[in-house]
Amino acid sequence: MKRQNNIIKNYITYSKKIFLHSISSSYIDAMIFPFNIYTFLTSPEDYLLDLQTKHGDPFPLSFPGAPTIWLTGNSDLAKVVFTAPADSFKTSDKNPVGPLLGKDGLIMQSGSTHLSLRKEFIPNFSKKSLSPFSENIVDTFFEIHQNHGHSGVLFIQEFALNSALKIILKFLFPHLIQSEMEEAEKLTGNFLKSYSASFLFIPNWVPGTWKTFNQKKNELDNRFYEFFLSGVALGINGPLSSLEGSSKSQVLDHIRTFIVAGHETSATSLSWALYYIHQDLYIRNRLQEELTIFENRSKNDFLEILLSNQFLDSIVQESLRIRPPVPFVTRKIINRAFIFGDQKLNIDDELGVCISLLHRQPETWPNPSEFKPDRFLDRKYSPYEFAPFGGGTRKCIGAELAVLELKILIGFYIKYYQSELIGTNIPRPEVMQITIGPKRPIGLSFTKRIF
Ligand code: HEM
């Protein structure tokens, strides 16, 4: 009886959330955007697949006011893009997240400036230097875990966004005390919420969009520069240490770049992974069994177990394959004409790799719509077949951190929660703020496991 009451209570909580979601943004988008932009925002993966089916590969992607981008979902052409000499391309002028990043962050840089900046940052993002940070990720999991009761409803996206935000801020500002960290979370939340990639299609004069965004950006910048300086004074500045001596605006553009590039991407991947683990009980039970076989071990022993678990690793890879948060990466041609499949592209033309299509090539991925982690246990894939983090000289600098974060959060979640999906809705990928993810809330009815 008590179990039945709980199920009903959880279902009501979930239904309320779904109702609130359904009366929000998509309908506004439908009213203000032309049909092709609306279709892209609400069904980006299908939209890209339709273009490829219609035009062949490579295929053109174009939106009003933005240059046409020639995209490929084919691994041979992906190799052409990712192995081209660094001086063949520059970063695209119209980056949908450009306004969040500013001009000086790593993503907006090109050529030798880009390469030398990367060189300075890379040591802080290596597997070895990230290893001590694992404990901060575990602590973050327990901070959030404490805030949940013994049982109830957990909304996957909230859990994921919350964890990823705390983790990226702890990574950038390891010296902040708790009250400062809370302030940093609030400022970042307000700043990110004040922007949406769809703003790019909205002119400056429309009230309430750019003005609020600029205000939230200034608030974040003022306080985050103080945080940076206090880190310098203490001699603790984690990955930002190479920026001592840079101008204020450079420092802030880098900070915003790491936050923007590292927050929603990681959260979206975590949301998909938790969804797919729960939509197939065999996968959830197998993972739980493999990870909790030595139940009474300490946190550190458990960390070691989960980090070396191959099945968990394959779940993370398969989630990034089936639902890559970044659907395509782009480059702008700078110094010579470029043969791209059957297209001859010229200087200033844009091209790129469509990751969501690359990850569905049937020759490489049989039954690509099925979530099958074992495919990563059965064989290895080249960096031109599997590229959730892009590739070449621009490959995601935070890839190791993202995978570490995903493994730890999933591993600890599976150990400490017994949960099942509420409802039978299959979440659709949609354009979130900057990535492609499940917008409609996904609820888990959970009971905590006690050790
Ligand atoms: C699952 C999570 C993540 C995914 C799927 C992801 C994906 C990507 C992709 C596709 C790119 C573009 C690569 C290209 O153009 O070839 C990129 C670049 C980048 N990412 Fe990530 N990322 C993730 C997490 C992170 C994290 C945690 C950080 C930082 C702490 C980060 C920082 C960056 C930066 C700075 C770049 C620009 C690199 C450059 O231009 O040299 N990312 N990411």
What confidence tens digit (pLDDT) does each residue in 200-221 have? 666 666 666 788 889 999 999 9
> Are the beta carbons of 69 and 62 closer than 8 angstroms?
yes
Residues ≥6 apart with Cβ < 8 Å to 7: 445
Host domain of residue 171 = 2-448
Spatial distance between the Cα atoms of 180 and 238, rounded to a whole number of angstroms = 17
**How high is the pLDDT of residue 198?**
65
pLDDT, residue 29, reads 57
The predicted model gives 427-451 an average pLDDT of 91
Ligand 1 near 352 CB (within 6 A): no
Q: How many domains does the chain have?
A: 1
With a pLDDT cut of 70, the percent of the chain lying above it is: 92
What local confidence, expressed as pLDDT, does residue 6 receive?
A: 73
Q: What CATH code is carried by the domain that includes residue 295?
A: 1.10.630.10
Residue 110 has pLDDT above 70, yes or no: yes
Phi-psi region of 392 (alpha: psi -120 to 50; beta: other; left: phi over 0): left
Query: How far does the chain reach from its first CA to its final CA, in angstroms?
Result: 26
Task: Band the pLDDT of 24: cuts 50, 70, 90.
Answer: low
Q: What is the pLDDT of residues 115-165, one digit of tens each?
A: 999 999 999 999 999 999 999 999 999 999 999 999 999 999 999 999 999
**Whether residue 311 has pLDDT greater than 70:** yes
In the prediction, which pLDDT does 23 show? 58
Assess whether the C-beta atom of 262 lies below 6 angstroms from ligand 1: yes
* Contact criterion met (CB below 8 Å) for 413 and 142: no
Q: What's the predicted TM-score (pTM) here? A: 0.94
Share the mean pLDDT of the chain.
91
* pLDDT-wise least confident of 254-263, 335-344, 361-370: 335-344
Is the distance from the beta carbon of residue 394 to the nearest atom of ligand 1 less than 6 Å? yes
Q: Ligand 1 atom closest to Cα of 401? A: 27
Beta carbon of 326 within 6 Å of any ligand 1 atom: yes
